């Protein structure tokens, strides 16, 4: 144990001394390790933050909700898969009405279309909304219930509003704060792209999620949305359907019923693949998790290449160090140092260089990832598993890339080494 402590003491002092003698060379070697490790830690911190934020968003919504969409909203497709998704038929208003009539196990069926974000011009008198809307949507009252918005003033969108294409709107709290700072917006007129709408409801504040305000939104009856903002041609465009089962226990049965009913509406032959996507909140989160896993693999590959180059740099700096210290090694051997002493000193030096670069990279990566978390209004986070993996990788790199220089140093002939100039 004492010998190991002596090795470590000699190695640390040797590393610090050599750093002082070769500042630029050492800095460039550490830079490669630092970049690789900081990339891993930074990206993993950001992904952990996103995962926590999206999990919180899903938990905010009802768990007995499921969706029918044209394709998976959180899936990224390439090549033939992407062409296949584009060829899927869009969900139409007619299909929504047919589905709503036949379902028996669902409490609510809503159709919604949204612009997220939206560049619509929002004004009250001569005053315009400065920032663009996070969301401008058309739907019915059930949408707000599914999204767990609380109505603090006025009323929700009703069936008669849908039937008459009424120009009425519910607004988020950010709209009230900016355009109606000193009054209740309910009953007042707001213009959307210069089209007047009466505000019938004010929603309670929900804050931000993933850096986007959930209160900078305006909702209108979907029939009015289709008429005034998409034109009648939008009846052939795609809608998103939001369905709610009676309870969690009936979610699977309600989902199966919806699949069968929608297949029948679209006349899909038995055995043929669905040309639409249906999923619960949990399934959407699983898909998002799969996406982040692939992203982690890609980031790991890129960072791995960077670390490989950095490892070669460690081997190079240790070989240069060996060349500059040949006479010193010869003197030490002449005074009784064994091969194992020289071998361990060089190996520990290489490992310490790798660990120091890794620690700096971990600090930089955590700072970057938590700056992103701050802007997303998430609590600071440390992905301890990836910090541990990074330290293990650095130790492994130091050992692997320091092995050859250490062996070469240990096998030097003391007489030839002392004569070396």
11-33: pLDDT as tens digits: 677 667 766 767 777 777 778 88
Give residue-wise pLDDT tens across range 244-259.
888 878 888 999 999 9
Q: 23-60 vs 2-21: helix axis angle to the nearest 10?
A: 110
Q: Are residues 335 and 362 in the same domain?
A: yes
On whether residue 314 sits in a domain, the answer given is yes
Structure confidence at residue 234 (pLDDT)? 43
Domain end (from 248, 275, 302):
275
Structure confidence at residue 304 (pLDDT)? 77
Structure confidence at residue 79 (pLDDT)? 45
At residue 236 the predicted structure's pLDDT band, cuts being 50, 70 and 90, is very low
State the total domains in the chain.
2
On whether residue 52 sits in a domain, the answer given is yes
Structure confidence at residue 78 (pLDDT)? 43
Residue predicted with more confidence, 318 or 235:
318
On whether residue 248 sits in a domain, the answer given is yes
Q: What is the mean pLDDT of residues 197-223?
A: 86
User: Is the predicted pLDDT of residue 96 greater than 70, yes or no?
Assistant: yes
Structure confidence at residue 80 (pLDDT)? 44
Structure confidence at residue 324 (pLDDT)? 78
Q: Are residues 240 and 333 in the same domain?
A: no
Give residue-wise pLDDT tens across range 374-399.
876 777 888 888 889 888 888 998 89
User: Is the predicted pLDDT of residue 169 greater than 80, yes or no?
Assistant: yes
Which domain, by its residues, includes 188? Answer: 89-275
Mean pLDDT, rounded, of the chain: 82
Q: Are residues 394 and 246 in the same domain?
A: no
On whether residue 62 sits in a domain, the answer given is no
122 within 8 A of 218, measured Cβ to Cβ = yes
Q: Are residues 341 and 246 in the same domain?
A: no
On whether residue 82 sits in a domain, the answer given is no
Q: Is the N-terminal amide bond of 24 cis, ω within 30° of 0? A: no
Domain end (from 275, 308, 334):
275
Q: Are residues 377 and 350 in the same domain?
A: yes
On whether residue 226 sits in a domain, the answer given is yes
Give residue-wise pLDDT tens across range 277-336.
887 766 666 666 677 777 777 877 877 787 788 888 888 888 887 887 788 888 878 888
Q: Are residues 216 and 351 in the same domain?
A: no
Q: Are residues 127 and 256 in the same domain?
A: yes
Least confident of 201-205, 333-337, 353-357: 333-337
Share of the chain above pLDDT 70, in %: 83
Give residue-wise pLDDT tens across range 67-88.
888 876 655 444 445 454 557 8
Give residue-wise pLDDT tens across range 100-153.
899 998 888 888 988 888 889 999 988 999 888 989 999 988 888 877 788 999
At residue 7 the predicted structure's pLDDT band, cuts being 50, 70 and 90, is low
Regarding pTM above 0.85, the answer is no
Q: Are residues 192 and 171 in the same domain?
A: yes
Q: Are residues 305 and 173 in the same domain?
A: no
Q: Are residues 132 and 253 in the same domain?
A: yes
Structure confidence at residue 233 (pLDDT)? 37
Least confident of 5-9, 189-193, 246-250, 349-353: 5-9
């Amino acid at each position: 144990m004492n010998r190991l402590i002596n090795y470590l003491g000699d190695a640390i002092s040797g590393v610090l001394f050599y750093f002082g003698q070769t500042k630029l060379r050492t800095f460039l070697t550490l830079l490669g390790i630092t970049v690789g490790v900081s990339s891993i830690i930074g990206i993993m911190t950001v992904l952990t933050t996103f995962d926590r934020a999206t999990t919180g968003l899903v938990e905010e919504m009802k768990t007995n909700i499921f969706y029918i969409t044209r394709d998976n909203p959180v899936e990224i497709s390439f090549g033939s898969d992407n062409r296949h998704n584009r060829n899927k038929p869009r969900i139409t208003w007619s299909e929504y009405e047919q589905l709503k009539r036949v379902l028996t196990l669902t409490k609510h069926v809503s159709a919604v279309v949204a612009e997220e974000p939206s560049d619509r011009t929002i004004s009250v008198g001569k005053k315009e909304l400065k920032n663009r809307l996070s969301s401008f949507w058309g739907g019915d009252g059930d949408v707000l219930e599914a999204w767990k918005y609380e109505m603090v003033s006025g009323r929700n969108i009703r069936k008669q509003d849908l039937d008459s294409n009424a120009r009425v709107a519910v607004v988020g709290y950010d709209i009230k704060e900016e355009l109606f700072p000193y009054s209740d917006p309910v009953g007042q007129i707001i213009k959307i792209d210069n089209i007047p709408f009466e505000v019938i409801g004010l929603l309670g504040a929900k804050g931000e999620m993933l850096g986007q305000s959930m209160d900078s939104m305006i909702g209108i009856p979907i029939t009015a949305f289709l008429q005034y903002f998409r034109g009648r041609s939008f009846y052939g465009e795609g809608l998103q359907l939001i369905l709610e089962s009676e309870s969690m226990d009936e979610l699977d049965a309600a989902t199966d019923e919806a699949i069968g009913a929608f297949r029948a509406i679209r006349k899909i032959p038995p055995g043929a693949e669905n040309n639409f996507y249906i999923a619960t909140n949990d399934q959407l989160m699983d898909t998002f998790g799969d996406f982040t896993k692939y992203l982690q693999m890609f980031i790991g590959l890129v960072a791995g290449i960077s670390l490989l180059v950095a490892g070669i740099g460690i081997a190079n700096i240790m070989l240069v160090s060996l060349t500059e210290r040949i006479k010193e090694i010869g003197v030490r051997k002449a005074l009784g140092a064994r091969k194992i002493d020289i071998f361990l000193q060089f190996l520990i030096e290489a490992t310490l260089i790798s660990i120091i670069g890794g620690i700096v990279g971990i600090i930089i990566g955590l700072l970057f990832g938590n700056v992103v978390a701050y802007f997303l209004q998430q609590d600071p986070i440390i992905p301890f598993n990836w910090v541990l993996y990074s330290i293990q990788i650095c130790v492994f790199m130091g050992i692997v890339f320091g092995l050859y220089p250490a062996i070469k140093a240990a096998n030097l002939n003391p007489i030839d080494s002392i004569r070396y100039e």
